[in-house]
Structure 1
Amino acid sequence: MSITYNGKSQLLAVAAIAQGGGMVFDWWDEIDESEEWQRFIFYFLSASYAFVSIVALTLEMVLLDLPGLLFFSAYTLLILFWAEIYHQARSLPVNKLRPAYYSINGLVYFAQACLWISVLLRESHLTVEISKLFVSVISFFTALGFMIYGGRLFFMLRRFPIDSRGRQKKLFEVGFVTVICCTCFLIRCIVVTLSAFDTKADLDVLDHPILNLIYYMLVEILPSALVLFILRKLPPKRVPEQYQEIR
């Protein structure tokens, strides 16, 4: 009798666990299918974007977080800023950096506009895939830009004397911002690539409010808030004569 009782207890325990797992998926599906939850999550995301933007304007920062390509332009502007510091410190020419920045951004906007027009005129699966892969590619190269110039600036600062004024603070700023930006753009690259080939992973729909909340919080809102917090004090105006060549 004891063996039978234990066997029934184990079956009941397994059934309870299975039922609990079913309840977890039930509440996920319930939220996905609820119009009230969909509205609440998207209003929450909108309010979060507004809050980060207001903080950015209050601090007079150039890293104003805006969705889409403006998000790309704001963060590539930080790459440009770091590239200018690095080139000036190494006595390298900087006169081509800003024209290159404007040219790259212009080409990106032009290409994206052409893709949007193509999708509107002929909404085929191929054009949608190409448009998403384009965003994935520019996200990858943005992450690469942070890795290159963030890494160069970080290791350049490490070569300064330990007692240099502000050395530790700048190392912290450059290191953490590089890691944060590389991570968020690489996540964007991976997720957008997956969504291009798997419609179930598409985030541009109302049916996945929880996934939208997780994705945009991790990829845009939280990274922007962290970057704004780390760079909350504007640096002094740069004077080229103050930079010395590092040998």
Structure 2
Amino acid sequence: MVAAMALVSVSDAGWWELVNGSTAWQDGVFFSLAALYGLIATASFIQVVRIQYRVPEYGWTTQKIFQHVIIDLPGLAFFTTYAMLALFWAEISYQARDLET
């Protein structure tokens, strides 16, 4: 009976309202994504260490790291600025919805 009522409430309210209003769902999604990103970061770090041990003559030098920073920095700065601009625009758009014209 409770399960049938839960299904009716989910179909009446819509699944998004149920998930959006539940802090347990939001915390679960947040922690799941954090665990997934942590797993990917750990696997990537292990791969870098394995490569460094297998081929030590191609190790990381200060010059290579400095070169990568110089090459990647403009792209990262552009992407970050673009993302901040998009988020700013979305926030203004969201706030403008509530204003009467």
Q: TM-score, normalised by structure 2?
A: 0.44
* Structure with greater helix percent: 2
Q: TM-score, normalised by structure 1?
A: 0.21
